[in-house]
Amino acid sequence: MQIFFLALVFVLLATSSFAHPGESLEPDVHRRLHHLEHPARRGVFECTNELEKRGWISHQADRRHAHLNELREQVGYSPLARRDRSLDAEIFGRQAGCVLDPEVTEGPYWVGGELIREDIRSGRGGKVEPGIVLYLDINVIDVSNCQPVPDAFVERLTLVSWLPGNGDGNPFEIYNQCLRGIQPTAKNGTVSFISLVPGHYTGRANHLHIIIHHGATRLKNDTISGGTISHVGQLYFDQSVLKTVEDTAPYTANRQRWTQNDRDGLFRLGFRGGDNPIIESQMVGRSIKDGLWGTIDIGVNPLAVRNPRNASLFPADSEVRTSGSMWGTHPTSSAALPRPSSGGGPGKTLRGGGLIGGAVRSVRSIFQHLQN
């Protein structure tokens, strides 16, 4: 098993297409390994019995069931409101769980200063992008005491430009606010977003990014300032759901190679240690075109401090590039794509021998770490 895992790490590091364009996976793999082996690591599932005894799981199942029925009534499918609720606790409770810090990457397109808003389907100018609507319900749980986390801020971001039908298809529109936004958690630790199921790009399965902030201040312009970040992770969808999505317009217009979950190294790495980063989802209506209802629980340690780096900052009128960002200017055209100094695709070249050399050294250091 250890040899297989090292082989997986090697493939991840050596294959630049697993990363966002301009992004190296080396620090992400090391960060994930460090997280998995942390002695204080604890997951949501370890809180299940306590949450069940307190009635929290039952309460969340009732709340989520009611919300789904409201959505079905809104789209004219109230007859689909399920009368048999015996499985609610499994669908919306025990099996809606996720992870403690599925620590991977914020990606190179994280823009600080995004707006607090629930509906994140539109970008600048108010244009709502095409795609399957995703109603996403997230519970945030403090795994140190198995209590919901109120007054945190959950930030959601997805690289919208890989979704077909988005403008000129430019993958570097970090100034486009579509599918990016922030929501505060309520007293029960819950946030909700109205979004779109993300499209795909070569080398990665369909996924979205989550960042969780604590102690931040809400400003008058509906942004947040200060505080700390405890969680940086990626969430995924069941493969059968994605098959239906990819067979539906406008996703059918995407000509890039579609990487399925089991071929995405970061997806597979995300399951090590008992984590489960898949969003539990159901169709709102009789067709996936009516939208998806998705639920997931994320366990965090609010005292943990992550230090992700944003690509730029979004003030009221324009972005300001972050010092140290990979972008020399805002990447508003394909000409801004960082090029490797040697071959191997769009990923950054690792120092000393390129991608393969860097992968070999990384696997060697990881193997030594595992032997200690």
Give residue-wise pLDDT tens across range 152-161. 999 998 765 4
Q: pLDDT tens-digit profile of 106-141?
A: 444 545 667 899 999 987 778 888 899 999 999 999
Residue 80 has a pLDDT of 64
Q: Can you give the pLDDT at residue 77?
A: 81
* Average pLDDT score over residue span 239-254: 94
Give, in words, the CATH class of 41-331.
mainly beta
Mean pLDDT score across all residues of the chain: 71
Say what the pLDDT of residue 100 is: 47
* Out of 91-105, 169-183, 304-318, least confident range: 91-105
Which range, of 248-252, 305-309, 344-348, averages the lowest pLDDT? 344-348
Q: In this model, does residue 310 exceed pLDDT 80?
A: no
Residue 50, pLDDT score: 87
Q: In this predicted model, which residue has the larger pLDDT, 345 or 12?
A: 12
**What's residue 46's pLDDT?**
74
**Which is more confident, 262 or 366?**
262
Question: pLDDT tens across 62-72, in order?
Answer: 999 999 999 99
Query: What's residue 157's pLDDT?
Result: 83
Return the minimum-mean-pLDDT range out of 66-80, 158-172, 260-274: 158-172
So where are the chain's domains?
41-331
Q: Residue 67 has what pLDDT?
A: 93
What pLDDT shows up at residue 149? 96
pLDDT score at 266? 84
Q: Is the pLDDT of residue 291 over 80?
A: yes
Alpha-carbon distance 237 to 226, whole Å? 32
What pLDDT band is residue 197 in, cutting at 50, 70 and 90?
Answer: very high
- Confidence at residue 129, expressed as pLDDT on a 0 to 100 scale: 84
